[in-house]
Each structure stands twice: as structure tokens, then as C-alpha cells.
Amino acid sequence: MSKIIRLGKYQVSSLIGKGSMGVVYKAYDPDMQRVVAIKTLRMELLEDNNKQILLSRFRSEAIAYGRCLHPNIVTCYSCDQDGEIIFIVLEYVEGNSLKEYLSQVKTISLSETVSIIKQILDALACAHDQGVIHRDIKPANVLMMKNGRVKVTDFGVARIDTGNATQTGCPIGSPNYMSPEQFSGDPIDCRADIFSTGAVLYELLTGEKPFSGNDLRETLHNVLLSNPKAPSFLNSQVSKELDKVVFKALQKDKNKLRRHAP
């Protein structure tokens, strides 16, 4: 637990987790009498020359959350500041990430897989309607509640539409789930999130990531040039029709509407 005891009015009780950029705490809102999650930037990152870029990105994350009001997206309550510390106040979700869930169970049924993916797509449809591209869909950014509801979280690298639908992207995201256009720095749109969701679907169906490698270079090569085995080859419960759905999502050329690979 960090030395932080209180942020503004919020009483911080424990550390939830750390990422490459942010730290998330469990806290209590005495005014609303509810438990919340508080995300702050890792302070050591603000000591270099990228401080203003990181602060701008952090504020953009709050704006992205604020635009996306949906039952399958973690709710953002506010973006506040206590001294030099800027923090985002979020809905506290009781449950594990999909990544943790996958490490605990041996297999996931097709019906549960369909439910999870449908909820992720419902969340993304809302985000895309609001001009928000998540850019980092992966099991670690999907929260699983005990009642079966899924919550998409972490809009830390989200891109908010500025009116230019073909805004050039940059290689931001998680390599095993990134679309080819994210790796190459080509223009990014909602189809990048569809590709990443397709990668998650593949993993749920097979227990394996569709694109992996011993290092970043090998992973990049596989994302750009290699096609994974059909899910039905690895899981006999998967139909050929579902294979087509997966390959449509994982089509490397977004301009072909990510159709089924030949």
C-alpha cells in the first residue's frame, strides 16, 4: 500500500493494481457513501520531459470514460486534483479481470464465450458511437462480475475523435492484441478494436493467443504476415461458421472489412 491515505475527500483503503502508467486504489466516498476506484498517474513518470503529454493523455482518458455511459463500461464519476496529484474516480467493480479468470478456469463454454464477446462489442458500439476508439482491448482490460456482466475498462490509450476520421495512429496498445494498422502507425478507426476483440475471441475459444512470439519482432511479424490456425482445429466444439466470424475479425486489411481470410 502506498503512503497515500486520502485524496481530496476520498479515503484510500488499499491498492488494487499498477500498470505501466497508472496506479489504481480502492477508496471510499464519504459524501455518496460508496466504494470507488481511484486511478492516478505514476508520479515517477511525471519527472521527465513527457509530463505534459502524459497529463493530457490522462485527462483524455477521463473524457473518454465520460462520453461512454453504458452498462458494459466502467462508469467515471469525476476527474479531480489534490495538490499536484490528478486522479480519476471510477466505479468500483467487484470481480476479476478476464485475464485472471482465464488463468483460473480450464475451459470456457461456447455460450459463456458468446456472452462475453457480445458484451464487449456492445460496449465498443457505444464507445464508437461517441467517437472513442479504445485501442487496447485485451483480457486484462475486461472485468468479470459475479453476475456474469462484463465491464470494459482502461481507456488510458483511447483515441477521441477530433473530427478527422482518418487521424493517423501510433503504435500504442498490447502487442498480442494490436491490429496491423496499430503496429504500422496507419490511420486508426473502430476496426482496430474489432481486430483486438477478434483476438480475444480466438483466445477464449482455443486457450491460445492468435498472434504471439518470443519477442516483439516475432509478434509483429505474425500479426502482419501470418494467419493463425482455425479455432476449430484446436477446439472441436467450434463450428466452421464460427471460424469464419473469427477470421473476419482478424482480417489484416481493414479496407476489406476484415472478411474471412482465404
Q: Are strands 142-145 and 76-82 parallel, antiparallel or unpaired?
A: unpaired
Closest CA to 63 of 135, 160, 148, 202: 160
Q: Kindly tell me the sign of the dihedral angle through the C-alpha atoms of 25, 26, 30, 33.
A: positive
Spatial distance between the Cα atoms of 150 and 147, rounded to a whole number of angstroms: 9
Q: Choose, from 29, 136, 193, 243, the residue flagged as catalytic.
A: 136
29 is catalytic: no
Backbone angles phi, psi at 67, to 5 degrees: -75, -30
Spatial distance between the Cα atoms of 126 and 256, rounded to a whole number of angstroms: 23
Q: How far is CA 251 from CA 63, 193, 262, in A?
A: 30, 12, 10
Closest CA to 134 of 80, 214, 196: 196
SS3 223: helix
What is the set of active-site residues? 136
